[in-house]
């Protein structure tokens, strides 16, 4: 053995010893947060899997009750179904969910506390200066085709795909620190070392990014980015998928269903040494809209459903005489909002994305504040969510450990809204609102068709704003068409949308709030524009997210993330509506159920089985 490798091994051993007591130091979890995340008693009793080594293989061993093998769990997808199965190309939540079933990351999050936990890795350590992350992979585990999972797969994924800019570059973009990316290198077949230019608090959670099998993805990378964008598309034959997750694709029928089957090479076992998962199949029916989803659940075609507030009372009355149980998962981790298009620029043909007249309205802070004051959040919670929700005023969800609780809620005040508009020269004539130049205030309001909750919100927003004299053309449209407007053509006025989020890490929203972010919808820029036309408060947001990511202690980070919420609260590029309480119905034949606010109802899908009632 060379002296170089001796030094490396000594360094690795010392790193482990030094960091053993501080592996997750300064990584905020629920316990450190301002508000405890809601968890059911079942979730708090969840027995976490442990590492075991059997015959030289580093398995995860389930500590839950030993179950029966076989059976199917049927869930649903709202909308048109996935757009890709490539985990690095996902630009929508459905595609990301489908890909996430098949490809695991190095780490995952504790479903109760949010603490980073090993997944494909069996352990990890962080250097005292916060710049070096050492990952220890499980030895002996395999891809679904029987090939070993090694450090080569990890280095290839991060170096060639993510840092190489293949697929959706959001992960890479969020990792740039002072113009530099982290580095990744391997030490032997089962140890990988990441180095960041500066201590970067969000990095540990980014290690949950899926890992790709090098022998499958390398040929696609060699063919270039254009080819990679269509690699593992929805037309790919299921037999061509090689995965690390508990399930792999078996069948995809567009507009009907996605079917996954168990991966026989999965690396988690039960206490009898039998390989999980217990279930043979996972099926996702593509149901189109929420009403159709309810019909299918009641016809027993679905095993699980997230209930709108308006449905909860009825299902609660049915529960004692039914074959399902209701679970309260607490406030939704995502957010719903109204956004106005603040874009004042032109496309490459010289045409304004938004007409100059509307630009003046939407970029007028008084106009945005008037819209905000006119929205009746309380009424929406009562009539749409049936009281199962809470008005929302910030971009952080109500269960976020970074929630700024100093930002006070307020009620609808139509008179105040009218006075605010008057400050900018708007006036009413025969109940119709005009700007100071005599232009009738009229614009389009979009949302995604089929989402009955957002459609109901749209109807109420339309009425609230028409109380101000505005003419609102409410237009629910197909989801992909809406996304195209928001992030490609920029030709929209106002929209009702939602974003998924993490109550543990605001940096996940960096691509929304940074002025050049890929989802900076309210003032979207093309890549060639960079930070062109940046507003003063957008600069403030850039600063808060940059400093928030580089601060390593929870209390220091919270100062910056409190400030970003204050800016959004003040400037209102996105006007937040309400946070639903997540109520889920699940057939009671399924066992090993430990639902949590963070993990949902099936975070431990590989341990769930069908048992006797």
Window from 31-40, 419-428, 521-530 with minimum mean pLDDT: 31-40
State pLDDT tens for residues 84-113: 999 999 878 889 999 999 999 999 988 888
State pLDDT tens for residues 420-442: 999 999 999 999 999 999 999 99
* pTM, entire model: 0.82
Q: Structure tokens of 380?
A: 């929406």
The answer to whether 242 and 145 have CB atoms below 8 angstroms apart is yes
Question: What average pLDDT does range 51-69 have in this prediction?
Answer: 96
> How far is residue 278's CA from residue 246's CA, in Å, rounded to a whole number?
10
Q: What pLDDT sits at residue 550?
A: 87
> How far is residue 433's CA from residue 534's CA, in Å, rounded to a whole number?
30
> How far is residue 111's CA from residue 234's CA, in Å, rounded to a whole number?
30
State pLDDT tens for residues 440-491: 999 999 999 888 889 999 999 999 999 999 999 999 998 888 988 888 889 9
In what helix (H) or strand (E) does residue 581 lie, and over which residues does it extend? strand 578-587
> How far is residue 386's CA from residue 132's CA, in Å, rounded to a whole number?
49
Window from 23-32, 230-239, 410-419, 502-511 with minimum mean pLDDT: 23-32
Q: What pLDDT sits at residue 101?
A: 96
Q: What pLDDT sits at residue 2?
A: 40
Q: Structure tokens of 316?
A: 């609660």
**CATH class of the domain whose range is 335-580:** alpha beta
State pLDDT tens for residues 307-356: 888 888 889 999 999 999 999 888 888 889 999 999 998 888 888 899 99
Sign of the alpha-carbon dihedral angle for 561, 566, 571, 576: positive
Give me the DSSP letters along 45-58.
T----EEEEETTEE
State pLDDT tens for residues 149-192: 999 999 999 999 999 999 988 888 888 887 899 999 999 999 99
Domain segments of the chain: what residues? Answer: 335-580
591 or 347, greater pLDDT: 591
Q: What pLDDT sits at residue 365?
A: 97
Omega of the bond leading into 277 within 30 degrees of 0 (cis):
yes
> How far is residue 580's CA from residue 307's CA, in Å, rounded to a whole number?
10
Among the ranges 196-210, 395-409, 463-477, which has the highest mean pLDDT value? 463-477
Q: What pLDDT sits at residue 309?
A: 82
> How far is residue 10's CA from residue 601's CA, in Å, rounded to a whole number?
44
């Amino acid at each position: 053995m060379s002296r170089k490798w001796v030094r490396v091994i000594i360094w690795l051993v010392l790193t482990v010893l030094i960091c053993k007591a501080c592996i997750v130091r300064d990584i905020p979890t629920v316990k450190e947060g301002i508000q405890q995340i809601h968890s059911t008693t079942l979730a708090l009793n969840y027995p976490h899997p442990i590492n075991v080594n059997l015959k030289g293989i580093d398995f995860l061993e389930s500590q839950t009750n030993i179950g029966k093998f076989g059976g199917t769990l049927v869930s649903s997808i709202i909308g048109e179904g996935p757009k890709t199965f490539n985990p690095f190309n996902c630009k929508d939540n459905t595609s990301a969910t489908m890909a996430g079933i098949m490809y695991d990351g190095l780490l995952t999050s504790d479903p109760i506390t949010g603490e980073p936990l090993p997944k494909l890795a069996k352990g990890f350590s962080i250097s005292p200066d916060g710049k070096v992350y050492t990952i220890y992979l499980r030895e002996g585990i395999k891809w679904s085709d029987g090939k070993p999972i090694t450090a080569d797969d990890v280095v290839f994924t991060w170096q060639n795909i993510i840092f190489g800019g293949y697929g959706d570059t959001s992960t890479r973009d969020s990792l740039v620190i002072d113009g530099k990316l982290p580095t990744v290198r391997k030490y032997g077949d089962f140890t990988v070392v990441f180095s960041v230019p500066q201590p970067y608090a969000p990095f540990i959670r980014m290690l949950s990014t899926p890992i790709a099998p090098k022998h499958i993805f390398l040929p696609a990378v060699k063919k270039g980015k254009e080819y990679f964008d269509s690699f593992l598309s929805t037309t790919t034959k299921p037999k061509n998928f090689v995965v690390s997750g508990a399930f792999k694709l078996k069948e995809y029928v567009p507009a009907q269903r996605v079917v996954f089957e168990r991966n026989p090479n999965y690396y988690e076992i039960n206490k009898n040494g039998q390989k999980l998962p217990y279930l043979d199949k996972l099926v996702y029916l593509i149901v189109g809209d929420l009403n159709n989803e309810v019909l299918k659940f009641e016809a027993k075609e679905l095993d699980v459903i997230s209930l709108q507030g308006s449905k909860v009372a009825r299902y609660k009355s049915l529960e004692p005489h039914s074959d399902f149980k209701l679970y309260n998962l607490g406030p939704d981790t995502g957010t719903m909002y109204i956004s106005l298009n603040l874009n004042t620029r032109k496309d490459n043909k010289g045409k304004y994305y938004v007409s100059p007249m509307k630009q003046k309205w939407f970029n007028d802070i008084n106009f945005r504040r008037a819209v905000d004051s006119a929205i009746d959040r309380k009424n929406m919670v009562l009539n749409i969510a049936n009281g199962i929700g809470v008005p929302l005023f910030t971009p952080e969800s109500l269960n976020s450990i970074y929630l700024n609780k100093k930002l006070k809620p307020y009620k609808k005040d139509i008179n105040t809204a009218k006075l605010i508009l008057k400050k900018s020269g708007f006036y009413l004539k025969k109940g119709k609102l005009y700007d100071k130049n005599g232009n009738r205030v009229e614009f389009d309001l979009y949302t995604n068709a089929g989402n009955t909750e957002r459609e109901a919100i749209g109807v109420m927003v339309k009425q609230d704003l028409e109380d101000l004299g505005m003419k609102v053309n409410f237009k629910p449209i197909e989801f992909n068409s809406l996304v195209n407007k928001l992030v490609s053509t920029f030709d929209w006025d106002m929209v009702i949308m939602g974003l998924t989020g993490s109550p543990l890490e605001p940096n996940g929203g960096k691509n929304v709030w940074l002025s050049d972010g890929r989802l900076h919808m309210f003032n979207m820029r093309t890549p060639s524009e960079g930070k062109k036309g940046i507003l003063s408060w957008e600069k403030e947001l850039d600063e808060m997210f940059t400093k928030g990511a580089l601060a390593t202690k929870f209390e220091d980070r919270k100062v910056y993330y409190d400030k970003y919420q204050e800016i959004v609260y003040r400037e209102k590029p996105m006007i937040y509506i309400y946070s639903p309480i997540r109520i889920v119905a699940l057939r009671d034949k399924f066992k090993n159920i430990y639902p949590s606010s963070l993990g949902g109802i099936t975070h431990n899908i590989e341990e769930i089985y069908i048992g006797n009632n």
